[in-house]
């Protein structure tokens, strides 16, 4: 295992930060897998999972059990980790710009499209390497004007040529679920069955260019541009894995989740000698656009009648919102039938605020599908 650090200049005089990467295995000996956690720096379940995973990778490396290269960034957002307000972490958006740390990553297809003209071949394998080299070259030329841009470029520099990218997050209160594209459904199923996801939400382009889609959407766009002349592969499988809710942080759970990640790494050929096989049931794979929002009908106190993971019917009462001044109590109802897979953290709300999401089977939303 080798440790690499990436210095970050800091926006103000006298301040410095750095990113740390743990690099396991040998480049070129098998698949390259990149894992990170804490990009939203108020989400700790994945951060603890990677601590336990690194202990398992240490063991695997000691008996020559790595076939490929596994890169781990255990704390992917030193900016957000330092941003607290009134004794609460504010790690989802940058405090200075209010930019979501998981949005607006550089669009690699736009950066390399013109440069690839005349360089691609009739071989899908050759084009895979040509495109990845172009990604690295384009990122090397980018200039960061803000701390957030510097962070984004640094993370992409490590991950842009990976075969597999897993970005570990969590929700407020939620079942374990993940987001993926349509490009590699067999790997999505393998990941679900390895980690125990209860739901997979699928979309090629969900809007916002989050970290996971910064690795899959470029191949989609390059195929649209060059596919009639040159074979373009789906060069990366990427997924955002939501490790339940913000309070689901304990060593026993994290240790099991880390073992499940080793099962996935073994299944894709990055680890050898791991006995466990993907054994969890394959959950529903539903369009992200079929996950509908539940809104607060008034401001007040939220009291839930159901819990994340429950199946609900359209029109079913999910919660009540009570106005403590007027004493009026209004029902919160399910917009569609499906699984209530997440609810908001706070038990107070404002009128019109999103309170939860229900994953149905019929697309009801289009456009930008990610909440900020």
Show the domains of the chain with their CATH numbers. Answer: 2-282 (3.40.630.10), 288-359 (2.40.50.100)
Cβ–Cβ contacts within 10 Å for residue 61, how many? 16
Q: What is the pTM of this model?
A: 0.97
Q: Which residues pair with 241 in a beta bridge?
A: 168, 178
Distance CA 363, CA 39 (A): 29
> Which pLDDT tens digit goes with each residue over 210-247?
999 999 999 999 999 999 999 999 999 999 999 999 99
Q: Which residue has the tokens 């939400």?
A: 201
What is the chain's mean pLDDT, rounded?
96
Task: Report in angstroms the alpha-carbon separations of 180 from 10, 147, 167, 272, 324.
Answer: 33, 28, 11, 25, 41
Q: Which residue has the tokens 């750095």?
A: 18
Which stretch of DSSP H or E encloses residue 252?
helix 251-267
Distance of CA 168 to the CA centre of its chain: 5
Q: Which residues pair with 303 in a beta bridge?
A: 320
Q: What share of the chain in percent tops pLDDT 90? A: 94
Structure tokens at 186: 């067999």
The sign of the CA dihedral 216, 293, 318, 285 is negative
Strand arrangement, sheet containing 317-322: 329-333, 317-322, 300-304, 348-349
Statement: residue 326 has pLDDT above 90: yes
């Amino acid at each position: 295992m080798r440790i690499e650090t990436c210095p970050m200049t800091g926006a103000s005089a006298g301040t410095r930060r750095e990113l740390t990467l743990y690099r396991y295995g040998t480049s070129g000996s098998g698949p390259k897998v990149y894992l990170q956690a804490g990009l939203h720096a108020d989400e700790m379940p994945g951060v603890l999972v990677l601590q336990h995973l690194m202990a398992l990778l240490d063991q695997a490396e000691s008996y020559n059990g790595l076939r490929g290269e596994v890169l781990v960034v255990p704390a992917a957002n030193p900016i957000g980790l330092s941003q607290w307000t009134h004794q609460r972490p504010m790690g989802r958006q940058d405090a200075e710009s209010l930019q979501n740390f998981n949005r607006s990553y550089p669009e690699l297809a736009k950066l390399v499209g013109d440069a690839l003209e005349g360089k691609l071949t009739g071989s899908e394998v050759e084009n895979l390497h040509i495109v990845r080299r172009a990604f690295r070259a384009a990122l090397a030329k980018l200039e960061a004007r803000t701390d957030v841009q510097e962070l984004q470029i640094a993370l992409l520099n490590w991950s842009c040529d990976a075969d597999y990218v897993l970005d570990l997050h969590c929700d407020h209160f939620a079942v374990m679920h993940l987001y993926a594209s349509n490009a590699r459904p067999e790997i999505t199923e393998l990941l679900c069955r390895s980690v125990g996801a209860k739901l997979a939400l699928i979309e090629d382009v969900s809007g916002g260019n989050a970290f996971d889609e910064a690795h899959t959407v470029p191949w989609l766009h390059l195929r649209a541009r060059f596919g009639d002349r040159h074979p373009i592969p789906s060069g990366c499988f990427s997924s955002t894995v939501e490790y339940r809710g913000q309070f689901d942080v304990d060593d026993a759970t994290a240790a099991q989740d880390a073992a499940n990640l080793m099962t996935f790494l073994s299944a894709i050929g990055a680890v050898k000698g791991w006995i466990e096989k993907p054994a969890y049931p394959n959950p529903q794979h539903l369009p992200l656009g079929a996950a509908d929002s539940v809104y607060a009908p008034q401001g007040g106190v939220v009291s839930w009648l159901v819990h994340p993971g429950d199946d609900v019917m359209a029109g079913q009462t999910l919660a009540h919102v009570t106005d403590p001044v007027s004493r009026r109590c209004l029902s919160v109802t399910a917009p569609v039938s499906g699984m209530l897979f997440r609810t908001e953290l706070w038990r107070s709300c404002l009128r019109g605020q999103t309170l939860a999401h229900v994953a149905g089977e019929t697309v009801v939303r289009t456009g930008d599908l990610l909440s900020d």
